[in-house]
Structure 1
Amino acid sequence: MRTSIATVCLSGTLTQKMQACADAGFDGIEVFEPDLVAAPQSPEEIRALADRLGLTLDLFQPFRDAEGVDAATFAANLRRAEAKFSLMQRLGMDTMLVCSNVGTATVDDDATSAAQLRELGDLAAAYDVRLAFEALAWGRFVDDYRRAWRIVELADHPQVGVCLDSFHILSRGHDPKEIEQIPGEKVFFLQLADAPLLSMDVLSWSRHHRLFPGEGGFDLAAFLAHVLRTGYDGPLSLEVFNDTFRQTDPDRTARQALRSLRWLEDQAAGRLGSEAGSGLARLPEVAEPSGLDFVEVRAEDTGDVEVVLEQLGFTFRGRHRSKAVGLWTQGGARVVLNEQQARDLSPAIAAVGVEVADPATSAARAERLLAPTVHRRTYAGEERLAAFSSPDGTEVFLGRVPDGPDATWTEEFRLGGTASGPELVTHVDHVNLVQPWQHYDEAVLFYSSVLGLAPQAPLDVAGPVGLVRSKVMRSTDGSVRLALNLLPAGLVTGLPQHVAFACDDIVALAERARSRGLRFLPVPDNYYDDLDARFDLDPEFLSTLRSLGLLYDRDAGGEFLHFYTATVGQVFFEVVERRGAYDGYGAPNAPVRLAAQMPG
């Protein structure tokens, strides 16, 4: 189906927004009137620019407070509307959004509203303009799409239909199933927006917290399926009011927006199944990743990281035959240390590799979802791994599920050793990636749409610099877990990233690491006093935790033991042991870790 986006979604001037939308690949735009009013270009120049860019001008919006008013007010509304219809002719536009009245309505009567929309329709017909009537969630009298449709039915005018907006319908908890009772030819326009599930007044929620599809809590796939069952064949258009999007790069936001629409089309097509005669575009179908292939740390000098890995029991498997890259392994955990193109860089997580059943198909899906391709130099005989860049710059590599214990690319590393003792680490449990505030929601959509990971409920953790919001993206079986941490507002740097390794005997591993000189993150005695009060632990067990600097958590499913290393550059390591069916991440212990990592 055709794609469209309201210019209010983006930062910049109207012409900058139009260029960004065209470059991203949108078919058309909604022109937000304040953007046009502020533009130095004439309507004819905007129309000509849209033609050059290959954009259709799909909707002029908004026309406010039109119906439910007294005769004198309505006469003024007709004069105002005629000026806008004339403007739309100059723009070459044929559909205008008419919002339900929120400011001047004094007549709570469907017949009156219908009569006034009918008269507006007569005037619009002279300019070949259609009116899409929308029930705003905070409309004074009309705040339900079902009432808006009743009024349109009463108006009974060919130029008058409805606009369906997912936010206005879902934020009020209205059942979208009755959308299917509206004839498709009377659905003049469709606007889509997601949002976090918040408890606040709908106007503030709408104006500041809307999100692109896939980034919030609404079931937009089901909503879109209801709309398409009416026979609607107009554009899928985004109308997202969001403070972050209006102050960040419009090119990037436009690509993020189109990614969300392509994901939503695919999700809705899946809901419709055999009903899908709607022209929805499908994405290449892929299975979710089955494991973490490797984690890469990049730095100009990786020596300090090598020391920590050796102390944790990792084995150096050798240097790459053509690159300044080393490989360290233990059990199924692989860490790549990369010193290429890393001048003046301190250690930080640069990439993760995921195991997928069909890398080529997964790469095709990523490309369709506008994931930026990553190119790395390879020579003849070396495995080429498809890769793309995530919103925070972390590179994601696609490796085939290995037949044996090792991926084929590990054979490119030479002159390494073999494990000299028991390998207590079994695999990578999870990777924690810190996200800049302006890319957090984009990252959630990225990992869910491109990799097929499911977002878990967000969690806020109190730290010395403010609340840290964390959301885990994970595969169904938990074999891939990426924890996305949002930097507190105003904090540009300061939260390191980390890799968590799983083991079956954390006490033995901690004792071995301590004997090798590992610097554990310090844990205050107060923590263990509180632990004893909360869980009434066996004194000997508590003494073991205290002596080794281990942290502990417990829930109805089981127990969780873990420890952290000191930070090297912008990265540190965690070792975890899950007992029973514990499936969390030790969130109650996060404030202790964050406090211990504060400088000074």
Structure 2
Amino acid sequence: MRTSIATVCISGTLTEKLRACADAGFDGIEVFEPDLISSPESPEEIAALASRLGLTLDLYQPFRDAEGVDEATFVSVLHRARAKFSLMERLGIETILVCSNAGTATVDDDAVSADQLRRLADVAQEHGRRLAFEALAWGRFVDDYRRAWRIVEQADHPALGVCLDSFHILSRGHDPAAIERIPGEKIFFVQLADAPALTMDVLSWSRHHRLFPGEGSFDLPGFMGHVMRAGYDGPWSLEVFNDVFRQTDTLRTAQQARRSLTWLEDQSTERADGEGTMALPAVDQPHDFDFVEVKADDTSAVEELLRQLGFTFRGRHRSKPVRLWSYGSARLVCNEQQARDLEPTLAAVGFEVTDADASADRARRLQAPAVSRRSLAGEIDLAAFSAPDGTEIFLADAPDGVESAWVGEFDGGSTAGEPALITGIDHVNLAHPWQSFDEAVLFYSSVLDLGLDAGQDIAAPSGLVRSQVVRSDDCAVRLALNVAPLAHDGVLAQHVAFASPDVVEVARRARDAGLQPLPVPQNYYDDLAARFDLGRERLAELRELGVLYDRDRTGEFLHFYTETIGAVFLEVVQRGGEYRGFGAPNAPVRLAAQHLRDRR
């Protein structure tokens, strides 16, 4: 699969964009006209740089307002086109993108559009160029790829074909199945973009909110399958207009874009010949959390919370300033190595996988940066890589029910005695900067092959917290990815949630051990009494212990929170029935309480 990307997708100058796209592993680029116009380099210099970098120049775009006009206007269209075809000769680009007319169109007649595109193609052919006609979703008259194809078919010119853009097709709800009726040789170019499900005018949606494949709600593997079955054999190119991507680091965004195409190729297993692509090694989803790591200059306050919750100190690492606590299968590592002046933060998450080598190879192919930590002879060297926010991800080969081998490197602690009131890690909540949130969603879903739940926004005193859950199919691994509002005046805390069969008993024992849970206002329990018939005694018990409650048609959910230490707090949860949520109605209460404590 040949890959390409429009220079409009990323920040920087045109030469910076070319270098970043080459470093990220793209085969070619689309030159977005404003990038060339603003470049001090000549077209010949741009072509030479692309050649040195191993990039092909696949498309020049856009050429606007070409068809559906009166004859006087079309004269100026031909004048403009001749200049662009000469420019393309200097660049060495064969194909130009011609958008359906959204501005100057006055004639709603397929025959007129076909005639004008045929005459335009005659001029293109004289210059050795060709036209890819694209139906814009907001075109004045032509806004459907099927009509664009009818016009191209009627024009019947060898230098004229169609460009298929997933956004223009899927945003309008057009059925992509008819793509298979277009001969593959007449599909001159394919552009790919994902997008979130939004209700807004399609032009604003397109200009500001496109995403890379895998980050939105479009069925791009299905779209790609239709194009493959039509016989298309050209580049698969990204055209993503997004305010965030055009502000962030050029190389990092290019790598994010390339990762998305690798993921999409892997998902699009149907080819015209029926063979799968297998772009990535097949891996099983993580089947459990292995550990979570808190890193700080001083982890004693977090360790005190663990002691109050009933965790057992398992010992200190034989060669590092790292301590291990566990309860049931829940393991939390407290790391003070290379953490001078660092407040407690979630630094790493470990996962138990079926084949760590295969999972690490998948991560490498998706350009996840490798992580290396010092290990002495005889110590376990876990495969590791870095997530977009800097969280380190570790992979361990650990069969179900068997404790990971690295635990044996900790000495001087105890083993758990009584039956576990905490059985494992239920979920981990990770905070992300606004500019890397979409990248993080794609990262965890592609690298770890996790599925996506519906995203949601949660009200906080400083604005809306955007949240997206990624999880394994059996929900054994759940990650809640959050991004704080821009007005948030501080670090959005992250947390580990532990699973328990009896949250009330854990809360009671923790209180007796000195734990001060996050305070919950009386107004919350008054509202809880109105929402659910819990009974006076049970409601009083929940209020006394600071336990929150939720229920839906599948089951019930009880949970409580500890205070925040640095940027970390802990949660204990109990799921009843088939409840799969996270107590979302209670999240604003938690965020408000944390906000008040931060202010104090």
TM-score, structure 1 normalization = 0.98
Count of matched residue positions in the alignment of Structure 1 and Structure 2: 597
CA deviation string 1:335-375 (max 9, x = no partner): 01111111110111000001110000000000000001111
* More deviation, 462-471/402-411: 402-411
Give the match for residue 302 of structure 1. Answer: 299
Choose the corresponding residue for 2:510, options 502, 508, 513: 513
1:536 deviates by: 2.3
1:420 deviates by: 4.7
Equivalent runs, 1:21-420 vs 2, <5 Å = 21-269=21-269, 271-272=270-271, 275-276=274-275, 280=277, 282-402=279-399, 404-420=401-417
Q: Distance in 2 between matches of 1:596 and 1:215?
A: 32
**Secondary structure, counterpart of 1:103 in structure 2:** coil
Q: Is 2:536 aligned against 1:526?
A: no
Q: Distance in 2 between matches of 1:222 and 1:141?
A: 27
Q: Is 2:587 aligned against 1:581?
A: no
C-alpha change, 1:281 and 1:59, in structure 2 (3 Å) is farther
Equivalent runs, 1:440-589 vs 2, <5 Å = 440-491=437-488, 493-589=490-586
Q: Distance in 2 between matches of 1:171 and 1:44?
A: 37
Asked if 1 retains the 8 angstrom alpha-carbon contact of 2:462 and 2:487, the reply is no
1:517 deviates by: 0.2
Q: Distance in 2 between matches of 1:562 and 1:191?
A: 46
**Secondary structure, counterpart of 2:411 in structure 1:** strand
Asked if 2 retains the 8 angstrom alpha-carbon contact of 1:195 and 1:218, the reply is yes
Asked if 1 retains the 8 angstrom alpha-carbon contact of 2:118 and 2:156, the reply is yes
Asked if 1 retains the 8 angstrom alpha-carbon contact of 2:229 and 2:272, the reply is no
In structure 1, give the amino acid aligned to 2:594: Q
Q: Distance in 2 between matches of 1:276 and 1:580?
A: 42
CA deviation string 1:136-185 (max 9, x = no partner): 00000000000000000011000000000000000000000000000000
**Secondary structure, counterpart of 1:446 in structure 2:** helix
Structure 1 gaps of 5+ residues are: none
Q: Distance in 2 between matches of 1:327 and 1:51?
A: 53
**Secondary structure, counterpart of 2:127 in structure 1:** coil
Q: Distance in 2 between matches of 1:574 and 1:272?
A: 47
1:492 deviates by: 6.4
Q: Distance in 1 between matches of 2:424 and 2:272?
A: 38
Asked if 2 retains the 8 angstrom alpha-carbon contact of 1:5 and 1:237, the reply is yes
In structure 2, give the amino acid aligned to 1:131: L
CA RMSD of aligned residues (A): 1.1
Q: Distance in 2 between matches of 1:307 and 1:477?
A: 32
CA deviation string 1:86-116 (max 9, x = no partner): 0000001100000000000011111110110
* More deviation, 205-214/461-470: 461-470
**Secondary structure, counterpart of 1:425 in structure 2:** coil
CA deviation string 1:502-558 (max 9, x = no partner): 100111111110010012000111111110011122111001101111101011111
**Secondary structure, counterpart of 1:29 in structure 2:** strand
Asked if 2 retains the 8 angstrom alpha-carbon contact of 1:296 and 1:335, the reply is yes
Q: Distance in 2 between matches of 1:525 and 1:118?
A: 74
Q: Distance in 1 between matches of 2:326 and 2:569?
A: 16
**Secondary structure, counterpart of 1:232 in structure 2:** coil
Percent of pairs with identical residues:
69
Q: Distance in 2 between matches of 1:197 and 1:509?
A: 41
Q: Distance in 1 between matches of 2:417 and 2:225?
A: 58
CA deviation string 1:48-88 (max 9, x = no partner): 11111111000000000000100010010000000000000
Asked if 1 retains the 8 angstrom alpha-carbon contact of 2:6 and 2:31, the reply is yes
1:274 deviates by: 5.8
In structure 1, give the amino acid aligned to 2:54: G
Q: Distance in 2 between matches of 1:582 and 1:93?
A: 56
TM-score, structure 2 normalization = 0.98
In structure 1, give the amino acid aligned to 2:557: F
Q: Distance in 2 between matches of 1:322 and 1:418?
A: 20
Runs of 4+ in 1 over 2 A off after TM superposition: 271-274, 401-405, 418-423, 489-494
Q: Distance in 2 between matches of 1:536 and 1:404?
A: 39
Asked if 2 retains the 8 angstrom alpha-carbon contact of 1:499 and 1:573, the reply is yes
Q: Distance in 2 between matches of 1:36 and 1:487?
A: 36
Q: Distance in 1 between matches of 2:299 and 2:593?
A: 23
In structure 1, give the amino acid aligned to 2:200: M
Q: Distance in 2 between matches of 1:22 and 1:347?
A: 38
In structure 2, give the amino acid aligned to 1:570: A
